[in-house]
Amino acid sequence: MNRMTMKAIEITTFGAPDVLRLGERPMPVAGVGELLIRVAASGVNRPDVLQRTGNYPVPPGASDIPGLEVSGVIEQGDAQALAAAGFALGDRVCALVSGGGYAEYCVAPVGQCLPVPKGLSDVEAASLPETVFTVWSNVFDRGRLQPGETLLVQGGSSGIGVTAIQLAKAMGAKVIATAGSDEKCAACVALGAEHAINYRTHDFQAELKRLTAGQGVDVILDMVAGSYVAKEIESLREDGRLVLIAVQGGVKAEVNAGLVLRRRLTLTGSTLRPRPVAFKQAIAQACRKHVWPLIEQGLIKPVIHSTFAAKDAAQAHALMESNQHIGKIVLTWGEA
């Protein structure tokens, strides 16, 4: 391969979706322990929007090109790393990356690459890494969700939400979700939630109390924070765990510390993007062991709302900001 440049989506300046432009960038080069992927599809995620608006600084050493997950074909790679991971040139993979996903070619640490699950398209595969890694790390590692327990998923129709609902159910837990419309609530139930609460027409805290006979839930996965935190603390049963993964509702919250003490509650949270490769590799291995078989058995299915040609990334971001989607938004590189 002798190409010197590739097409990529650039953030020309911080601002609205139309600041995204298809441009030319130097070809990335795979280093030790890395693979070069010829990208077929790129997942679109909320952190991409935050980066575009200037609210999510790029981690040191990461590409300034947006995009945290891709699918495609291994074009080049560290031979030793390829062999150790059981990959070969030409294999179809999907990968979690720290940036650079909105491009024709992307470099990824081999430990953050997984084979495309059997039967999945490139678009479906590109929708997996960011959401599956995030859900596994936060719901099962940090939140310690167990079979028979009840999980509340805030924003159940989001990319994270549709994955969390299906994975928790497949692992033997009960799920309650919140969403912003009756249509989205119906989608959550169709995916496996026992109940879905329209937070625009109902108070989720009151509904949770009713649905759980006043007992509350064991684990809450929250992307809102802000004023939600106080209600969520009150909605946890004894030894409950609240896991924060975003702060769309604000970074400050008041907490009833007395409840935390009396009910032995855990308040935790994490961000995935800046974590070291070794941490992400451990999540990848856990997902391959526990989640990939469920996908290949059809117990967890990617939910794709829309696909856009890469050159139309601005339209994809506008859709994400409208909050009208159910599931994932994906860019494709066939027409770039």
- Per residue in 214-225, pLDDT (tens digit) is 999 999 999 998
* pLDDT reported for residue 168: 98
Dihedral sign (CA 62, 105, 1, 124)? positive
Domains 5-128+273-332 and 134-269 share a fold: no
The beta-carbon contacts of 74-77 under 8 Å, at least 24 apart in sequence, are: 74/35, 74/36, 74/37, 74/38, 74/113, 75/1, 75/36, 75/37, 75/38, 75/105, 76/1, 76/30, 76/35, 76/36, 77/30, 77/34, 77/35, 77/36, 77/110
* pLDDT reported for residue 1: 52
At 140 the three-state DSSP class reads helix
Measure the CA–CA gap between 112 and 103, rounded to whole angstroms: 18
* pLDDT reported for residue 84: 87
Measure the CA–CA gap between 319 and 245, rounded to whole angstroms: 21
* pLDDT reported for residue 336: 44
197 and 176 Cβ atoms separated by less than 8 Å: yes
Which phi and psi (to 5°) does residue 289 adopt?
-75, -45
* CB-based burial label for 229 (10 Å; 0-12, 13-18, 19+): buried
8 and 39 Cβ atoms separated by less than 8 Å: no
* pLDDT reported for residue 144: 97
pTM attached to this predicted model: 0.93
CATH class (in words) of the domain with range 134-269: alpha beta
* pLDDT reported for residue 334: 82
Q: Which CATH architecture has domain 5-128+273-332?
A: Alpha-Beta Complex (3.90)
281, two tokens: 């590799």
* pLDDT reported for residue 335: 53
pLDDT tens figures, 197-216: 999 999 999 999 999 999 99
Domain boundaries, the chain: 5-128+273-332, 134-269
Dihedral sign (CA 69, 73, 78, 80)? positive
Q: What is the pLDDT along the chain (336 residues), one digit of tens a residue?
A: 557 999 999 999 999 999 999 999 999 999 999 999 999 999 999 999 999 999 999 999 899 999 999 999 999 998 888 988 999 999 999 999 999 999 999 999 999 999 999 999 999 999 999 999 999 999 999 999 999 999 999 999 999 999 999 999 999 999 999 999 999 999 999 999 999 999 999 999 999 999 999 999 999 999 998 999 999 999 999 999 999 999 888 899 999 999 999 999 999 999 888 899 999 999 999 999 999 999 999 999 999 999 999 999 999 999 999 989 999 999 999 854
At 308 the three-state DSSP class reads strand
Strands 304-309 and 217-222: unpaired
List beta partners, residue 72: 39, 93
HEC string for 67-117: CCEEEEEEEEECHHHHHHHCCCCCCEEEEECCCCCCECEEEEEHHHEEECC
CB-based contacts of 291, cutoff 8 Å, min separation 6? 132, 136, 167, 300
* pLDDT reported for residue 284: 96
